[in-house]
Amino acid sequence: MKGGGVALISGGSRGLGLAMVKSLLDQGYRVATFSRRPGEAIERLKEKYSERFSFFEGDMSDQASLGLLVKRVEKECGPIDVLINNAGIATDGVLATMQPDQIEQVIAVNLTGTLLLTRLVVRQMVVRSRGSIINISSIIGLRGYAGLAAYSATKAGLDGMTRGLARELGPRNIRVNSIAPGYLETEMTHGLGENQRSQIVRRTPLGRLGTPDDVVGSVHFLLSPAAGFITGQILTIDGGITC
Ligand code: NAP
């Protein structure tokens, strides 16, 4: 997919989502993103790229609102060429003591919301026979991590969605892939204790946590013609911790 298309990225207000928003803007895309709250970085981008950037307030777990959100994006920005399903939450806790509503919330945001958003976005992609979808899953969905069973289930679910949709949409010229990052320096990992952090660094061949910038290059690759025969795959970017 060449720069200049329309990209919708969920959860672009900070962290990895924000890095992908900035990077796709740099590459010439028309970018739309949404999250529950905008934040300062979004305000700056609105000023800098007033013609090519749109932020919408939206909540992945508010299922009824997603249809209106997609309609607003398509009306303001045009038909969507690229969908990056990035918004996610990690609810920490031993499964036996987690509250049912915590489990439901992590599934609602990470998995159900993503399926529903994708369902709405692919309709126009199918009509136009073009599109590329990237699901941001996680190595936690591939390998697991004590205290993150519900999160892990949602991320494994996203990889399943990637494979199923790749088969469903390949004949329509739409590619679907996952990127599974390892531990990244974002707000999501701020809660890691010193012991957990040093254990992760010790087990990572490249000897550090990743950054959002370590991931964006692979996003460009998967969207580019160089990846034109790649679909249904999971690209792991983790400094080697799962090797
Ligand atoms: P982050 O810094 O916590 O950012 C999460 C983003 O998702 C924010 O923009 C947040 O915005 C948005 N979001 C959260 N709940 C939402 C909701 N209900 N509706 C709409 N947007 C919502 O996390 P991150 O590290 O950048 O994570 C981005 C993605 O990478 C996630 O899917 C995460 O699971 C995945 N990942 C992260 C790591 C890591 O180590 N950090 C590793 C592997 C995979 P608001 O709060 O304003 O809604």
Amino acid at position 217, single letter: G
Tell me which DSSP letter residue 28 carries: T
Q: Could you list the pLDDT tens digit for every one of the 243 residues in the chain? A: 546 799 999 999 999 999 999 999 999 999 999 999 999 999 999 999 999 999 999 999 999 999 999 999 999 999 999 999 999 999 999 999 999 999 999 999 999 999 999 999 999 999 999 999 999 999 999 999 999 999 999 999 999 999 999 999 999 999 999 999 999 999 999 989 999 999 999 999 999 999 999 999 999 999 999 999 999 999 999 999 999
Catalytic residue from among 29, 49, 145, 151: 151
Ligand 1 geometric centre to CA of 187 (Å): 8
For the CA of 151, the nearest atom of ligand 1: 34
The predicted pLDDT at position 242 comes to 98
Ligand 1 geometric centre to CA of 109 (Å): 10
Q: Which residues pair with 184 in a beta bridge?
A: 210
The predicted pLDDT at position 3 comes to 60
| Residues 132, 123: Cα–Cα separation, whole Å | 13
For the CA of 188, the nearest atom of ligand 1: 3
Closest residue by Cα to atom 39, ligand 1, is: 184
| Residues 143, 152: Cα–Cα separation, whole Å | 8
Ligand 1 geometric centre to CA of 206 (Å): 24
- Whether the CB-CB separation of 12 and 4 falls below 8 Å is answered with no
Sign of the CA dihedral with 25 first, then 86, 188, and 185 last: negative
For the CA of 12, the nearest atom of ligand 1: 9
Asked if 183 is an active-site residue, the reply is: no
Q: Is the CB of 141 under 6 A from ligand 1?
A: no
**Nearest in space to 232 (alpha carbons), one of 180, 178, 174:** 178
Ligand 1 geometric centre to CA of 171 (Å): 31
| Residues 236, 137: Cα–Cα separation, whole Å | 9
For the CA of 19, the nearest atom of ligand 1: 26
The alpha-helical segments, DSSP class H, found in the chain are: 15-26, 40-48, 66-77, 100-107, 113-128, 139-143, 149-169, 194-203, 212-223
Closest residue by Cα to atom 29, ligand 1, is: 86
